[in-house]
Chains A and B, each alone.
Chain A
Amino acid sequence: MDAASSVHREWLRYTPRQRRARFALYFGLVFAIVASLRTVQIIPEFLYDAPEQMADLFKRMWPIAWAYYPGGVHDALIETLHIATLGTILAIIMALPLGLLAANNITPNAWLNTFARLMLVSSRSVNSLVWALLFVAIFGPGALAGTMAIAFRSIGFVGKLFGEALEETRPGPIEALKAAGAPWPSIFIMGYWPQVEPAFWAIALFRWDISVRESAVLGLVGAGGIGMAINAAMDLFQWERVALMLLTIFAVVIVAEVVVTYIRKKII
């Protein structure tokens, strides 16, 4: 092409750096998948056997042991619900001060903000089953460990979202209260609280919903609730009881979701 007569222009959507980064990402993705598939230890016989084993599992689960519900499942189920609810309440109580500390407009101190955020991040990056393991070692097996596990796992979630909601409040009402000479508790209760209340209830309900799901498995490591009953039934190969408990969990999860949706519509 003659450079003097026409300037050749090629329009590209991304800068060279973006293109290189994207290429690196795609390459890394393909590499990770291929490497994983090549080295993962899968025994093919087990895979061919799977449909048969699955059929066998469902055959053992049938007929479902309905009669076992009043004696063996009901109390464990109620305990699970208590663990989830109490754990969430405890988490909210502990997360409120952390949320206040993490919100930059309420605590204008970068060190305190960072400290609170660090606490919230560490709460979230440990899985609830790991929290349960730790609390079982500390408090012994039982509902106390489960409640603490749910609480500590939820602090990060509730505190982060509550802190973000606080940071999004409008300063107008707060300034008005300050100008009227209101003391700090009044500023919080009458200025901040009404603005974050819908978000607060949404967060609490959402977390409760998650906690109900999670508290059902905490028993696998000994932290109380219906998971312990599942574990016991599985160890004894009583699959018809396991099936009953799985169905119970399924029903409870659905009911929890319906309740949360209903309350949310009602109050938010």
Chain B
Amino acid sequence: MSTIQTAQARPPAFLPNWPTRLAWLALAAYTVYATSILNITWDRFVLGLGNGVTFIGRMLPPDTAADKMALMARGLYETVEIAVIASALGILLSLPIGLFAARNLMPAWITWPMRLLIALCRSFHQVIIAILFVKAVGFGALAGILALTVASIGFIAKLFAEAIEEISLKQVEAIRATGAPFMNVITYGVMPQVLTRFVGFATYQFDSNLRNSTMVGIVGAGGIGGTMFAAFQKFDYDYLLTILIAIIALIMLSEALQNWIKKLYQ
């Protein structure tokens, strides 16, 4: 940070902040240290740039042979299937789990196990969960569906529980006062207050599932990722580019859909 020059008589308007400066210095020192530890050198970087040019040269033009396009279409279709089923399943399971994890409605003996379950679902990356499910249920779409379902529960149930914890309890009390049974309290007292936010979480999670279902194939859990990784390992870079363009197009489409749904439920 620089100080502003002033006339000699006047003290500087902005005093130097030494702790902050030292912190910035430490950060710079760490960057240099980590760079050396990871063996990142300028030579390697420059060499990489040369490789990059070759790499991009081999990617162009994208491969659009009919048989490969058909293979890609199948992979993309499976990716969408995985995302749709995993989102539906995840949302369905998140509803009760999120409800039971809300501390303002439920007793502690049920919220704690539920919160632990949610934390467990959240703590691993989707691809790592996919590895475990590939071992459990074999290669294919099922492993991807289960992995993304677990990830969806970790995300939606957590946010849903938080949304329920923020509701106004007056309406819940009013419904309870009429002698309504538990399910009616939930349907008429709780759900109307959190539904809009729930739709937001659900569309966000579908988008996120779609992004990740393009990736779980790398570990054999179905979808376009397997085709992509195979193309990469066979140095089939022009086909890789075709697949990448298709994935990006799919994600942009999903983002547009998400915006449309968000507008619909405002």
Q: Which residues of A contact B (CB under 8 A)?
A: 18, 21-22, 25, 32-33, 36-37, 39-43, 46-47, 49-50, 53-54, 57, 79, 82-83, 85-86, 89, 122, 125-127, 129-130, 133-134, 137-140, 142-144, 147, 182, 185-186, 189-190, 213-214, 216-217, 220-221, 224, 230, 234, 246, 249-250, 253-254
Contacts and interface: CB of A to CB of B under 8 A. Distances in A.
A254 B264 CA distance: 37
B125 A33 contact: no
30 contacts: A36-B85, A41-B141, A41-B222, A42-B142, A43-B140, A46-B137, A47-B137, A50-B136, A53-B138, A57-B135, A57-B136, A79-B37, A85-B34, A126-B244, A127-B214, A130-B247, A133-B232, A137-B237, A138-B55, A144-B40, A144-B45, A186-B4, A190-B14, A217-B125, A217-B127, A221-B218, A246-B124, A246-B128, A250-B124, A253-B124
Closest 4 pairs (CB-CB, A-B)? A139-B48, A36-B81, A143-B38, A46-B138
Interface in B27-56: 27, 30-31, 34-35, 37-40, 44-45, 48-49, 51-52, 55
A46 B222 CA distance: 14
Which of B44, B131, B137, B218 has the most chain A CB within a 10 Å cutoff? B137
A32 B39 contact: no
Nearest to B40: A144
Interface in B60-102: 77-78, 80-82, 84-85, 88
A30 to B, nearest CB: 10
A17 to B, nearest CB: 10
A115 to B, nearest CB: 17
Which of A21, A33, A127 has the most chain B CB within a 10 Å cutoff? A127
A186 B4 CA distance: 7
Main secondary structure of the interface of B (DSSP, over half): helix
A254 B123 contact: yes
Given A137-B232, A143-B39, A40 B125 contact: no
A234 B220 CA distance: 13
Contact of B215 (A82, A85, A127, A254): A127
Interface residues of B, number: 63
Contact of A130 (B2, B77, B137, B244): B244
Nearest to A33: B88
Interface of B: 1-2, 4, 14, 27, 30-31, 34-35, 37-40, 44-45, 48-49, 51-52, 55, 77-78, 80-82, 84-85, 88, 123-125, 127-128, 131-132, 135-138, 140-142, 145, 211-212, 214-215, 218-219, 222, 228-229, 232, 237, 240, 244, 247-248, 251-252, 255, 261, 264
Contact of B48 (A33, A50, A138, A221): A138
A25 B264 CA distance: 9
A126 B30 contact: no
Contacts of A36: 80-81, 84-85
B236 to A, nearest CB: 12
Nearest to A82: B34
A25 B76 CA distance: 22
A185 B2 contact: yes
Contacts of B88: 33
Given A41-B78, A214-B125, A217-B127, 18 more contacts: A36-B81, A36-B84, A46-B140, A46-B142, A49-B138, A57-B136, A86-B35, A125-B251, A125-B252, A126-B248, A129-B215, A130-B244, A133-B232, A139-B44, A143-B38, A216-B125, A220-B127, A221-B229
A52 to B, nearest CB: 9
Nearest to A251: B123
A82 B141 contact: no
A89 B44 CA distance: 19
Contacts of B247: 130
Contacts of A186: 2, 4
Nearest to B143: A46
A127 B210 CA distance: 11
B232 A79 contact: no
Contacts of B39: 142-144
Which of B35, B55, B240 has the most chain A CB within a 10 Å cutoff? B35
A83 B40 CA distance: 11
Nearest to A51: B136
A265 B31 CA distance: 25
A235 B198 CA distance: 41
Nearest to B254: A125
A243 to B, nearest CB: 10
Contacts of B51: 137-140
B211 A127 contact: yes
Contacts of A53: 135-138
B148 to A, nearest CB: 13
Nearest to B51: A138
